[in-house]
């Protein structure tokens, strides 16, 4: 063998081991290669498995808090107060037209109780709209006249002008079945004077003609008694002497045939109050006057 061939053979022998190592490396990098323990190095791990940390909790579950709105009680039930009792009717005092029950009588309560009469409660019997005294009759009569109508001027003939003093014709509707007589009154509402009263009118009578006799006891056209506040017995009409006053004719359906404890000398206000205390029903007719003698 020539010197050149020996050099070439020796060079090939050196080269072949290097080529074998490169081809026999495996994925495990383990010691399988020839020509020595050619480990591919420590198997590369991806590092400690990365945990995301403790599982992320959203935090303590948020509670909305107690959702009760509280016990909202409306408070103690309010009491309406003690039911008031109406004033009882006074024994005196004249009833007026459309007025209140008055100082003595008091206004009738809506559900009050008391003396007989009183459309809306007690306050004494009689006096549909008394200024003092009775709280009102239990029914209403209709009182009319052919001489004048409600709210109009009272004619001169029915006033004191020229000393005429003629009683007006008056008609009224019948009272309740228990009515035993009627009474009539002329009441000056402006100064609370009772001009004229007539009582013990029979229950079968529901009208009076005009210009009644002026005697204390009537026998015609009806049985009755009458009195005025000016010292005589017959009708005495309006006489306010130039100022305008309001006057009311009142009719009462009474529960007695003869008005008790009343005489021809009794004051007109006392007679009227006695009527009110026995009234089952009443009616009114009002007018105005500025008459002078």
Contact present, 282 and 126 (Cβ < 8 Å): yes
Task: Name the pLDDT band for 138 (thresholds 50, 70, 90).
Answer: low
Beta bridge partners of 224: 218
What is the mean pLDDT of the segment spanning 205-227?
A: 94
Question: Is the domain covering 139-289 a CATH 3.30.2140.20 domain?
Answer: no
Tokens 């045939």 correspond to what residue? 257
- Tell me what percent of the residues of the chain surpass a pLDDT of 90: 48
pLDDT at residue 41 tops 60: no
CA 95/CA 131 separation, integer angstroms: 5
Q: Residue 105 pLDDT more than 50? A: no
Q: What is the distance between the alpha carbons of residues 247 and 237, in angstroms, rounded to a whole number?
A: 10
Where residue 101 falls among pLDDT bands split at 50, 70, 90? Answer: very low
User: Per-residue confidence at 108, pLDDT binned at 50, 70, 90?
Assistant: very low
Q: Which tokens is 17 given?
A: 């081991």
Higher pLDDT, 230 or 176: 176
**Residues 245-264: tens digit of each pLDDT:** 999 999 999 999 999 999 87
Residue 38 structure tokens: 């050619």
Write down the pLDDT at residue 271.
96
pTM above 0.75, yes or no: no
What would the mean pLDDT of 13-36 be, rounded to a whole number? 38
User: 183 falls in which pLDDT band (50, 70, 90)?
Assistant: very high
Express each pLDDT in 151-173 by its tens digit.
999 999 999 999 999 999 999 99
Task: Flag the least confident range among 13-22, 145-154, 274-283.
Answer: 13-22
- According to DSSP, residue 191 is labeled T
Which tens digit of pLDDT belongs to each residue from 14-25?
444 443 433 333
Q: What is the average pLDDT score of the chain?
A: 69
CA dist 138 and 108 (Å) reads: 12
Rounded distance between C-alpha atoms, residue 235 and residue 214, angstroms: 7
What's the pLDDT score for residue 137? Answer: 59
pLDDT reported for residue 14: 43
pLDDT at 293 over 80: yes
Residue 287: closest CA among 165, 132, 156: 156
Q: Where are the alpha helices (DSSP H) in 25-111?
A: 102-105
Q: How many angstroms from the chain centroid is the CA of residue 188? A: 34
Sole residue written with tokens 């404890």: 261
Closest CA to 43 of 25, 29, 31: 29
Cα–Cα distance, 143 to 189 (Å, whole number): 17
Strands 170-172 and 143-144, bridge-based pairing: antiparallel
160 sits in the region (left: phi over 0; alpha: psi -120 to 50; else beta) called alpha
**In angstroms, rounded to a whole number, what is the distance separating the alpha carbons of residues 44 and 67?**
58
Taking only the tens place, the pLDDT of each residue in 86-99 is 334 433 333 334 43
* Cα–Cα dist 117/165, whole Å: 32
Q: How many CB atoms lie within 10 A of CB 19?
A: 10
Predicted pLDDT of residue 231: 81
Instruction: Please give the helix or strand (H or E) that residue 276 lies within, else none.
Output: helix 268-277
The pLDDT assigned to 221 comes to 86
């Amino acid at each position: 063998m020539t010197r050149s061939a020996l050099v070439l053979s020796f060079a090939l022998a050196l080269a072949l081991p290097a080529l074998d190592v490169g081809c026999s490396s495996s994925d495990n990098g383990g010691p399988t290669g020839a020509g020595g323990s050619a480990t591919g190095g420590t198997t590369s791990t991806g590092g400690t498995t990365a945990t995301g940390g403790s599982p992320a909790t959203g935090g303590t579950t948020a509670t909305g808090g107690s959702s009760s709105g509280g016990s909202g009680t409306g408070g103690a039930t309010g009491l309406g107060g003690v039911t008031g009792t109406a004033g009882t009717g006074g024994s005196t005092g004249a009833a007026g037209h459309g007025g209140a029950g008055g100082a003595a009588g008091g206004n009738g309560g809506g559900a009050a109780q008391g003396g007989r009469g009183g459309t809306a409660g007690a306050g004494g019997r009689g006096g549909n709209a008394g200024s003092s005294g009775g709280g009102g009759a239990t029914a209403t009569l209709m009182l009319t006249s052919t001489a004048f109508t409600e709210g109009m001027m009272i004619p001169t003939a029915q006033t004191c002008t020229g000393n005429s003093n003629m009683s007006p014709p008056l008609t009224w509707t019948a009272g309740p079945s228990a009515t035993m007589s009627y009474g009539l009154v002329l009441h000056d509402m402006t100064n609370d004077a009772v001009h004229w009263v007539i009582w013990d009118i029979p229950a079968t009578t529901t009208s009076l003609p005009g210009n009644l006799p002026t005697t204390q006891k009537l026998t015609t056209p009806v049985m009755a008694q009458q009195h005025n506040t000016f010292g005589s017995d017959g009708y005495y009409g309006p006489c306010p002497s130039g100022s305008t006053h309001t006057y009311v004719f009142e009719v009462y359906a009474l529960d007695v045939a003869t008005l008790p404890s009343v005489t021809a000398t009794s004051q007109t206000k006392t007679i009227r109050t006695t009527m009110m205390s026995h009234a089952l029903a009443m009616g009114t007719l009002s007018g105005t006057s500025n008459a002078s003698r």
